[in-house]
Amino acid sequence: MTSGDEMHPLLEVKDLQALLPTRRGIVKAVDKVSLVLNPGRVLGIVGESGCGKSMLAKAIMGLLPARSIVPTESIVNFQGQNLVRMKKTHKRHIIGREIAMIFQDPMTSLNPVMKVGRQISEVLCHHLKVSKQTAHRRAIALLDLVGIPMANRRADQYPHQLSGGLRQRVAIAIALACGPKLLIADEPTTALDVTVQAAILDLLASLQQEKQMAMILITHDLGVVAGRTDEAAVMYAGKIVEHAATNELFKQMRMPYTHALMAAIPRLVNRPHTRLLAINGQPPDMVDLPPGCRFASRCWKKQPLCIESEPALKRINGRGHRFACWYPLESAENP
Ligand SMILES: Nc1ncnc2c1ncn2[C@@H]1O[C@H](COP(=O)(O)OP(=O)(O)O)[C@@H](O)[C@H]1O
Ligand SMILES: [Mg+2]
């Protein structure tokens, strides 16, 4: 459909807001998020549960719950075209084809009453208008590509006949069917056995490299981000609070919240039976946000200014490290 334009980044999100009306008031699930992603790059998005990671992904895809509000100032440029303002008929050619998504629970994207091979071939027929025979052949090749043994036989099975790990591989095959330029993976391993989590992340990494896709990898675990992403954005209460190249982030984190997430990673060096550090306190009520820094009530470095005034997300160096904090961590305070 749309041809790549060298003038534009692949994805450029600017001041994106997703407002969800509830009985208690409006939840600012995504609050003025801006980010840029270039072809072939992997961006990790990390933060505690409820901080808006899934809503950000859904806002980019245009898959927010009914009645959600995306203000018209919000911009989601994909190859230079704003998806927020694009006609549905045009967007249908992009979503599921050029931008694909995999979810935490593969059953979200799989149809329980359709054979898995057919679920893939239908996507191919719909988007690429290939014949049924071609689609069937390609579906089996895709099942093989995502590491499903005896793909020929598995294609004739229903989702419930497969393990959780195999189901997630099928979901990945569906997402990859049309060769997307951007893949959004929303906690793709959270619902799986620990034993298969690494295998699925390895599979995603090798497919991403082979196809040179851009990928957004969403997780609540900073440990997943390490070594698997080029850059990482930390979200808190609907906002990005720190964003940097992944190695830079781990070397020199500036936002105390990033440090707190880091401290919550299990480590091999921990003595057996030591409890994981949980971050003290609760994230703020997303319907009634405080005027200052949203992390202030839980922050050990807070000063009166933090409670009065919200720090902006500022760039600190030419390498694009951004953070929002009045009293950032110094080198000596890094873990
Ligand atoms: N359908 C919905 N209606 C109203 N609020 C919602 C809905 N889904 C999620 N939320 C709220 O939006 C915020 C962000 O949620 P979400 O993006 O799912 O967080 P995460 O993926 O980081 O765990 C949370 O405060 C959550 O309670
Ligand atoms: Mg989520």
Ligand 1 geometric centre to CA of 51 (Å): 7
Task: Examine residue 315 and state whether it is found in any structural domain, yes or no.
Answer: yes
- The pLDDT, as a whole number, for residue 278 is 63
Model confidence band, residue 138 (pLDDT cutoffs 50, 70, 90): very high
> Percentage of residues in the chain with pLDDT exceeding 70?
94
Task: Examine residue 42 and state whether it is found in any structural domain, yes or no.
Answer: yes
Distance CA 170, CA 189 (A): 13
What CATH number has the domain bearing residue 213?
Answer: 3.40.50.300
For the chain, what is the domain count?
2
Query: Going by CA atoms, what residue is nearest to atom 26 of ligand 1?
Result: 50
Q: Are both 120 and 186 inside the same structural domain?
A: yes
Structure confidence by residue, pLDDT tens digits, 271-280: 444 444 567 8
Q: Are both 302 and 215 inside the same structural domain?
A: no
Q: Are both 221 and 279 inside the same structural domain?
A: no
Starting from the CA of residue 105, give the closest ligand: 2
**Pocket of ligand 1 contains residue 104 by CB under 6 Å:** no
Q: Are both 44 and 170 inside the same structural domain?
A: yes
β-sheet bridge partners, residue 69: 19
**Pocket of ligand 1 contains residue 96 by CB under 6 Å:** no
Query: Going by CA atoms, what residue is nearest to atom 11 of ligand 1?
Result: 29
Of 229, 244, 274, at which residue does a domain stop?
Answer: 229
- The pLDDT, as a whole number, for residue 266 is 60
Query: Going by CA atoms, what residue is nearest to atom 4 of ligand 1?
Result: 20
Structure confidence by residue, pLDDT tens digits, 82-118: 999 999 999 999 999 999 999 988 888 899 999 999 9
Distance CA 11, CA 78 (A): 5
Q: Are both 289 and 183 inside the same structural domain?
A: no
Q: Are both 159 and 222 inside the same structural domain?
A: yes
Model confidence band, residue 267 (pLDDT cutoffs 50, 70, 90): low
Asked if residue 172 lies in contact with residue 146, where contact means CB atoms within 8 angstroms, the answer is yes
- The pLDDT, as a whole number, for residue 6 is 59
Starting from the CA of residue 50, give the closest ligand: 1
**Pocket of ligand 1 contains residue 108 by CB under 6 Å:** no
Of 229, 262, 290, at which residue does a domain stop?
Answer: 229
Residue 257 phi, psi (nearest 5): -65, -40
Could you give the 3-state DSSP secondary structure of residue 309? coil
**Pocket of ligand 1 contains residue 22 by CB under 6 Å:** yes
Task: Examine residue 321 and state whether it is found in any structural domain, yes or no.
Answer: yes
- The pLDDT, as a whole number, for residue 208 is 96
Ligand 1 geometric centre to CA of 28 (Å): 9
Domain of residue 331: give its range: 253-335
Specify the pTM: 0.93
**Pocket of ligand 1 contains residue 234 by CB under 6 Å:** no
- The pLDDT, as a whole number, for residue 274 is 46
Burial of 65 (0-12, 13-18, 19+ CB in 10 A): exposed
Q: Are both 128 and 177 inside the same structural domain?
A: yes
Lowest average pLDDT, out of 6-10, 42-46, 136-140, 241-245, goes to: 6-10
Query: Going by CA atoms, what residue is nearest to atom 24 of ligand 1?
Result: 50
Ligand 1 geometric centre to CA of 274 (Å): 31
Residues 118, 121, 123: CA angle, nearest 5 degrees: 115
Task: Examine residue 329 and state whether it is found in any structural domain, yes or no.
Answer: yes
Task: Examine residue 19 and state whether it is found in any structural domain, yes or no.
Answer: no
> Percentage of residues in the chain with pLDDT exceeding 90?
81
| Mutate-to-test residue for ligand 1 from 24, 33, 54, 190, highest number of ligand atoms within 8 A of CB | 54
- The pLDDT, as a whole number, for residue 319 is 77
Task: Examine residue 109 and state whether it is found in any structural domain, yes or no.
Answer: yes
Q: Are both 54 and 150 inside the same structural domain?
A: yes
Q: Are both 146 and 270 inside the same structural domain?
A: no
**Pocket of ligand 1 contains residue 239 by CB under 6 Å:** no
Atom of ligand 1 nearest to the CA of 186: 21
Task: Examine residue 2 and state whether it is found in any structural domain, yes or no.
Answer: no
Q: Are both 96 and 217 inside the same structural domain?
A: yes
Of 179, 196, 229, at which residue does a domain stop?
Answer: 229
Q: Are both 159 and 47 inside the same structural domain?
A: yes
Task: Examine residue 12 and state whether it is found in any structural domain, yes or no.
Answer: no
pLDDT averaged over the chain? Answer: 92
β-sheet bridge partners, residue 173: none
Give 6's contacts (C-beta < 8 A, 6+ positions apart).
none
Ligand 2 geometric centre to CA of 187 (Å): 7
Q: Are both 94 and 199 inside the same structural domain?
A: yes
Structure confidence by residue, pLDDT tens digits, 150-208: 999 999 999 999 999 999 999 999 999 999 999 999 999 988 888 899 999 999 999 99
